[in-house]
Amino acid sequence: MTEEPDEKLYLDNAASTRPSRQVIEAMLEVMRVDYGNPSSRHAMGLAAERRLRRARSQVARRLGLSANRVVFTSGGSESLALALLGSGTRQRSPGHLLISAIEHPAVLRTARRLEREGHSVEEVPVGATGRVEAEQVAARVRDDTFLVALMHVNNESGVVQPVAEVSAAVKARKPGCRLLVDIVQSFGLLDTRLEQLGADMVALSGHKLHGPKGVGALGLARDVKLKPLWEGGRQESGLRAGTENVPGIVGLGVAAECGKGDADSLGALTALVARTVTEQLPRAEVLGDARHRAPHILALAIPGVRADVLVNALGASGVYVSSGAACHSRGAKRSHVLQAMRVPEDHGVVRISVSRELTPQQCEQAAQRLVETVRGLGQ
């Protein structure tokens, strides 16, 4: 199969990535050949079940789990909801939940729902570095704290959170407290094995690593028990009723096996963009502490520029970036992450996120176009 020539400069890979050829081919084969229901006990069903089993092992391997601890879902948001609500509804009495101030809305809003249902929720702030501090989390742990939710890589700033340190500090105070880690941005790129992260649950999504949209997984440590979000068939160890999205799950498995790319190469691309922009626009600033940034995301703050205007102007010239998270970019309100990091209101922030499909020349070209566009806007 040939791929279309790509004229556009797509630097919005934290929002979504292009499914790889291997992913598309594997998914097509499932739809064409192995389209049986994995619960059917005839040969077609067994073939589909084998496909599921393989994908489960491919994902589990990246998480350092045995395959039966992977639950397939419809994506990152559902995985996070299953972890949060599925833990909350298991509590015999209302408890306490800690989340960082920079979590994805899938965590923030679901936590608020738990609050409406009687639990108490506390947000841990981050400083200008965009990182929570382990001691600040641990200091808030109470006797009734049942869950801490902290993302691995923030989708807007690219800042890597000290997940293992937080885990150690929290568990030193309360060994039974669970840690849920959103690894949507880091899966397939950084080390996301549960043991290394000190995590009890991890949530991931297919479309951030050249896999399909609408499919994800929740990885569970051996002793974690949850309640399902709804009732029905006994699929996914009883945790997620409904016939499995076999093509999507197979695509996710292939994407997990291939990974997102080499961290050093992706880091070289974002470094190239950062250098090109800051050399020519000395007032532009890269957000977040350089020692703790994920290789594929670069958040650039440019004083006196409106991010939405800049993103639109760049889009018109074929350069696709985003102003903060995709789910916020259509809203005029400043994102909660930039607020938490206390980025001044008059700084426009654009998020540039690269993939292994980009060349250094393309990144240089995109950066150059960004510089020209900012200058064209009068800065």
Ligand X SMILES: Cc1ncc(COP(=O)(O)O)c(C=O)c1O
Per CB under 6 A, residues contacting ligand X are: 75-77, 104, 106, 151, 155, 182, 184-185, 205, 216
214: region left, alpha or beta (phi > 0 left; psi from -120 to 50 alpha): left
Smaller CB separation from ligand X, 114 or 305: 114
Using alpha carbons only, what angle is made at residue 304 by residues 313 and 279, rounded to the nearest 5 degrees? Answer: 80
- Determine the residue with CB nearest ligand X: 76
Smaller CB separation from ligand X, 216 or 228: 216
Nearest Cα residue to 194 out of 159, 233, 222: 222
Q: How far is the CB of 80 from ligand X (least distance, A)?
A: 6
**DSSP class per residue in 210-262:** TS-SS-EEEEE-TT-----SS-SS-TGGGTS-S---HHHHHHHHHHHHH-S--
- Which residues 6+ apart lie within 8 Å of 66 measured at CB? 60, 222
Catalytic sites, residue numbers: 327
The three-class DSSP label of residue 124 is: strand
Q: Which residue has the tokens 């006196």?
A: 304
Q: Which residue has the tokens 């102007």?
A: 313
Smaller CB separation from ligand X, 77 or 100: 77
Q: How far is the CB of 301 from ligand X (least distance, A)?
A: 20
Smaller CB separation from ligand X, 106 or 277: 106
Smaller CB separation from ligand X, 155 or 373: 155
Nearest Cα residue to 252 out of 226, 296, 218: 218
Q: How far is the CB of 225 from ligand X (least distance, A)?
A: 23
- Which residues 6+ apart lie within 8 Å of 325 measured at CB? 14, 15, 104, 155, 156, 335, 337, 351
Smaller CB separation from ligand X, 11 or 371: 11
Nearest Cα residue to 300 out of 343, 329, 355, 356: 343
What tokens appear for 74 in the block?
């419809």
Q: How far is the CB of 36 from ligand X (least distance, A)?
A: 26
For residues 152 and 162, what is the distance between their CA atoms, to the nearest angstrom?
8
Q: How far is the CB of 375 from ligand X (least distance, A)?
A: 31
Burial 288-320 (b: 16+ CB within 10 A, else e): beeebbbbbbbbbbbeebebbebbebbeeeebb
Q: How far is the CB of 208 from ligand X (least distance, A)?
A: 7
70: region left, alpha or beta (phi > 0 left; psi from -120 to 50 alpha): beta
- How large is the angle between the packed helices 76-88 and 105-116, nearest 10 degrees? 20
Q: How far is the CB of 34 from ligand X (least distance, A)?
A: 24
Smaller CB separation from ligand X, 74 or 235: 74
